[in-house]
A = this chain, B = another copy of it.
């Protein structure tokens, strides 16, 4: 018995300190969900919806240990773990999702679903239905015949996935950025499902500023001659417009304090010879930003970007006439985590939502992410508030 315990302890020590595999998730497998005649918030109907999803941890017998993660604009359901041992990176929130981590997969069944019109339509690890999907009525891609979809529709797809697994209630819903919109909409639209909601770098509504700001992401795509009113082929897509959009999104999701470090690392100089000599040349920092965007563009669909922009523009909690109305139905204990130097969804958007909930007498909490990344602090540095998140999730409601 002593020898056996000693052996187990050694194995555990090796696991913890040598290979660290005790803290890693098992390899992740993408699942597929399909439903027919899916009714949208607009009243229109999609003949078929197919989306991908993935999960970490085990669903308990009572099916009441479920944490739903709702993803950001250019993200997917790959929130944690790796598909293959040799993946360069795990899912985006791997720092907080796993055994013993703040979102503890030894306790919770953590699940995430690819959005409709997911940006990365041509990523092998993303399964989505959107304007690039084949319209069963024409056997051609939908293009702009695809109906406008909303944050509520993403929520309803997630709800259908959960219901297909026999789940009728969440332990919590948590999401960053566009994922925060989904989390808030969940709490507003389905209050009986949601006892806990965490909004990271988010907003309770797209105000006039945000709706207009999102439009700048769409316009370069519509200007691209290959876009052709949304009717293009996989062989001749509007790549230049998409690259422009991604460059803008990337910069707006960062903060000068971080961005200028990148400038330093490529020895940025204002008076560079090439852009002084030739209007067609660019500064090295611009080339860096463009190359970064271009390397991501080939897995993405430009029309999908337009539809995601629209979904975000149309967002207000509960899709009601006002933020106040939308928040009024929320029963969840809520936590708002803006990033202090976020320039894309500035902290006032979280503060306003949090304060309205407090004013209405609801159980709402607030904790800012610090650091110099800007908006992306909520994706790349979320572990900074890991303890706060952990105690929020584990407290009784």
> Chain A residues in contact with chain B, CB under 8 A?
41-42, 144, 146, 148, 150, 205-209, 211-213, 215-216, 219-220, 223-225, 230, 240-241, 244, 247-248, 251, 256, 259-260, 262-264, 268-272, 275-280, 282-283, 285-286, 289, 306-307, 310, 313-316, 319-321, 343, 346, 348
Contact = CB atoms under 8 A, between A and B. Distances in A.
A207 B279 contact: no
A207 B260 contact: yes
B247 A289 contact: no
A258 B293 CA distance: 32
Interface centre among A241, A286, A316, A346 (most CB of B within 10 A): A286
Contacts of A244: 216, 219-220, 223
Nearest to A254: B209
Give the number of copies in the complex: 2
Contacts of A348: 256
Given A219-B220, A241-B223, A248-B216, A268 B211 contact: yes
A307 B279 contact: yes
A375 B230 CA distance: 35
Contacts of A289: 212, 215
Which secondary structure characterizes the binding site on chain A? helix
A279 B215 CA distance: 12
A286 to B, nearest CB: 5
A186 B275 CA distance: 22
Contacts of A278: 148
B144 A279 contact: yes
Max chain B Cβ within 10 angstroms of own Cβ: one of A146, A206, A307: A206
B271 A314 contact: yes
A277 B42 contact: yes
A207 B313 contact: no
A275 B209 contact: no
A241 B223 CA distance: 7
Nearest to A320: B271
A149 B251 CA distance: 26
B208 A313 contact: no
A278 B248 CA distance: 25
A283 to B, nearest CB: 5
Given A207-B260, A211-B286, A277-B148, A216 B313 contact: no
Given A223-B224, A247-B216, A251-B213, A315 B270 contact: yes
Contact of A310 (B209, B216, B279, B314): B279
A148 B279 contact: yes
A384 to B, nearest CB: 22
B207 A219 contact: no
Nearest to A272: B314
Contacts of A270: 205-207, 211, 313-316
Given A211-B268, A215-B283, 20 more contacts: A207-B268, A208-B262, A208-B263, A209-B251, A209-B259, A209-B263, A211-B286, A212-B251, A212-B283, A212-B286, A212-B289, A219-B247, A220-B220, A220-B223, A225-B225, A256-B348, A269-B321, A270-B316, A276-B314, A279-B307
Nearest to A147: B279
A262 B212 CA distance: 11
Contact of A346 (B256, B271, B277): B256
The 5 tightest CB contacts between A and B, nearest first, are A208-B263, A209-B256, A270-B316, A223-B223, A208-B268
Given A209-B260, A219-B244, A270-B205, A42 B276 contact: yes
A256 B263 CA distance: 28
Contacts of A208: 259-260, 262-264, 268, 285
A37 to B, nearest CB: 20
